[in-house]
A and B are shown apart, each in its own frame.
Chain A
Amino acid sequence: MNQQSDDLRELYRELILDHARSPRHFGRLEHATHQAAGINPLCGDKLRLYLQVDADNRIEDTSFEGTGCAISVASASLLTDTIIGQPVDKAEAYFESVTKRLTHGEPAELDQNLEKLRALDGVREFPSRVKCATLAWHALHSALNQQEEPATTE
């Protein structure tokens, strides 16, 4: 019983709830150079991620908009915090390590910038919610690779 409650608290940590209630970088980015949609057909979550990449291949600005559960919104919000100011190839590497960590539970080494994302680790106890947590990251991957089809977690 207590273990169960702990799992729930682990999933809905204060940091997650905070980002879900007050998502960072929320809204449309006017001068986006890259963008992609992420759709989770299971629950109807939809978001769009915007990137503004400068001449040095650095993510100068980023934002997202859309609707989703606490986990997907918090994950998107944390994503924007994480990749802003980072070089494109590093953001792509973040996509790899975060999705591996959440999907396969691989303890991919987290550079300091990713430490905050440990807050998402709770989803690993909730297989049906992993897709919520990875949705924005798949959208990031699509945006960086200029894919036209919306990213899905299916």
Chain B
Amino acid sequence: MTQAQAQLGASAEDWRKDFPILDQSVSGHALVYLDSAASAQQPQSVIDAVARYHQEDHANVHRGVHTLSHRATEAYEGARDKIRGFVNASSRTEIVLTSGTTESINLVAQSFCRPRVGPGDKVLITHLEHHANIVPWQLVCEQTGAELVVAPIDDDGQLEFEALRALLTDDVFILAMGHVSNALGTVNPVKEIIAEARQRDIPVLIDGAQGVPHMPIDVQDLDCDFYAFSGHKMFGPTGTGVLYARESLLDAMPPYQGGGDMILEVSFDGTIYNELPYKFEAGTPNISGVIGVGAAVDYLQSIGMERVATSEQVLHDYMVESLSEIDGMRLIGTAGNKTSVQSFLLDDIHSHDLGTILDHQGVAIRTGHHCAMPVMTRFGISGTARASVALYNNLDDVDRLVEALRKAQQIFA
């Protein structure tokens, strides 16, 4: 038994069995799923919770006096409570349910920033961001005349902390940055940065899409103002997302969208908005999806996020070490603190070709720019191959990845 196997223990094998989709063949090979950073698979308990809702409880929420509507509302609001506990928000009113991280960030850009910023104000982001944490801010800047400022990263894909600190000036209205880089796996020292921003009264939004699935998150401990994440990256269904926001900020923000469910009273003279968090949840929500996210929270808490983080770190480190041993390997993203993701280039083989050849050996990875084109530009490349692990991966998966990459080298030799 290798050292990595000993560290990983039997836990990953047990967790793997909870994910039925992984038990299949692709292109005649047992599936190796290394694309969880794009979307994570769902455990049986999530699939069952969603199916049970559709089979037994479906009705619209917050509306009916009938039994099914009551059950649907209980399950939906129960999921909100679970999510609150999972990220340790102080109140359920601070958990706004959205369609995903993207909508969560757009909500903050449009409802929090747009009415308050103008020429002379700055919106500060970093060079590591996913497009979802760039474009909403570009839109706001176009709409208001504010300036978008980008904090630099170094050749390892780490934020330049001192440069970022120097950019936290009084004219910065908000700092929006990722917790974990989706393209490079860099874990940013968000707690330290938030503390710096706090000293200058600059609100901070954290894009936690790649953080929540891999480590314990405590929004009170982080002391951030906004924390955005997606259900489908944390083993729940797609079309679900969360915006944690401080209640005092949500209170002061106008609604993001108008419609049903976000109102108390409507007349043609005006509308009284609903209380938090419903003010920000217009229209019938993704009820089954949110219930699925609640089940995903139950699943993750049954394991414990500390254990998830420890186990994944072993996998990540084994993956980095194994990839490094291949001749012609160029790792992109070599930060000291990294999790779950490794981007790379192999010889001069285009990542798209690697993706096809790996798929033909049953190995699923992501290829291309990973919705983070500025990161690619920073490294002078158009894209990378990216392997990402989650709690259900094991060391064999990494070995299969390496084997498949060697095959690609043979084809392109």
Bound together:
yes
Known contacts A44-B369, A44-B376, A126-B356; 4 additional CB pairs below 8 A are A9-B411, A12-B412, A43-B369, A70-B353
A55→B411 CA distance, assembly (Å): 45
Is B373 interfacial (CB-CB < 8 Å)?
A: yes
A43→B368 CA distance, assembly (Å): 5
Partner of A42, one of B28, B360, B368, B376: B368
Which B326-382 residues have C-beta < 8 A from chain A?
Answer: 349-353, 356-357, 360-361, 367-369, 373, 376, 382
Please state if A44 and B382 are interface contacts (CB–CB under 8 Å). Answer: yes
Question: Does more than half of chain A's interface fall in helix, strand or loop, or is it mixed?
Answer: helix
Shortest B404–chain A CB gap in Å is 11
A43→B296 CA distance, assembly (Å): 31
Question: Does more than half of chain B's interface fall in helix, strand or loop, or is it mixed?
Answer: mixed
Is B324 interfacial (CB-CB < 8 Å)?
A: no
Shortest B268–chain A CB gap in Å is 43
Given contacts A11-B356, A12-B411, A71-B353, contact A44 B27 (CB under 8 A): no
Number of A-B contacts (CB under 8 A): 53
Q: Contact residue range for chain B?
A: 20 to 34
Is A81 interfacial (CB-CB < 8 Å)?
A: no
Please state if A43 and B351 are interface contacts (CB–CB under 8 Å). Answer: yes
Please state if B350 and A8 are interface contacts (CB–CB under 8 Å). Answer: no
Shortest A8–chain B CB gap in Å is 5
Which A110-138 residues have C-beta < 8 A from chain B?
Answer: 126, 128-129, 132
Please state if B367 and A43 are interface contacts (CB–CB under 8 Å). Answer: yes
Which A13-59 residues have C-beta < 8 A from chain B?
Answer: 17, 42-46
**A3 / chain B contacts, CB cutoff of 8 Å:** 28
A141→B28 CA distance, assembly (Å): 39
Most buried by A among B28, B350, B361, B368: B350
Given contacts A4-B27, A44-B382, contact A69 B360 (CB under 8 A): no
Closest chain B residue, CB of each to CB of A5: B360
21 A–B pairs (Cβ distance < 8 Å), ordered by A: A1-B28, A3-B28, A4-B27, A7-B360, A8-B360, A8-B411, A12-B357, A17-B412, A43-B351, A43-B367, A43-B369, A44-B368, A44-B369, A44-B382, A46-B382, A67-B382, A69-B351, A70-B349, A70-B350, A71-B353, A128-B356
Is B213 interfacial (CB-CB < 8 Å)?
A: no
Shortest A108–chain B CB gap in Å is 25
Given contacts A4-B360, A12-B412, contact A44 B353 (CB under 8 A): no
Closest chain B residue, CB of each to CB of A9: B411
A44→B367 CA distance, assembly (Å): 10
Closest chain A residue, CB of each to CB of B350: A69
Is B383 interfacial (CB-CB < 8 Å)?
A: yes
Closest chain A residue, CB of each to CB of B383: A44
A11→B353 CA distance, assembly (Å): 10
Please state if A45 and B382 are interface contacts (CB–CB under 8 Å). Answer: yes
A71→B149 CA distance, assembly (Å): 38
**A69 / chain B contacts, CB cutoff of 8 Å:** 350-353
Given contacts A4-B27, A68-B350, contact A43 B383 (CB under 8 A): yes
Shortest B411–chain A CB gap in Å is 5
Shortest B86–chain A CB gap in Å is 33
Shortest B22–chain A CB gap in Å is 20
Shortest B374–chain A CB gap in Å is 12
**Closest A-B pairs by Cβ, 9 of them:** A69-B352, A69-B350, A43-B368, A44-B369, A43-B352, A44-B382, A44-B383, A70-B353, A69-B353
**A44 / chain B contacts, CB cutoff of 8 Å:** 368-369, 373, 376, 382-383
A69→B352 CA distance, assembly (Å): 6
Please state if B412 and A4 are interface contacts (CB–CB under 8 Å). Answer: no
Shortest A118–chain B CB gap in Å is 19
Most buried by B among A17, A69, A132: A69
A70→B351 CA distance, assembly (Å): 10
A44→B356 CA distance, assembly (Å): 15
**B376 / chain A contacts, CB cutoff of 8 Å:** 44
Shortest A70–chain B CB gap in Å is 5
Please state if A129 and B356 are interface contacts (CB–CB under 8 Å). Answer: yes
**A128 / chain B contacts, CB cutoff of 8 Å:** 356
**B383 / chain A contacts, CB cutoff of 8 Å:** 43-44
**B361 / chain A contacts, CB cutoff of 8 Å:** 4
Shortest B131–chain A CB gap in Å is 11
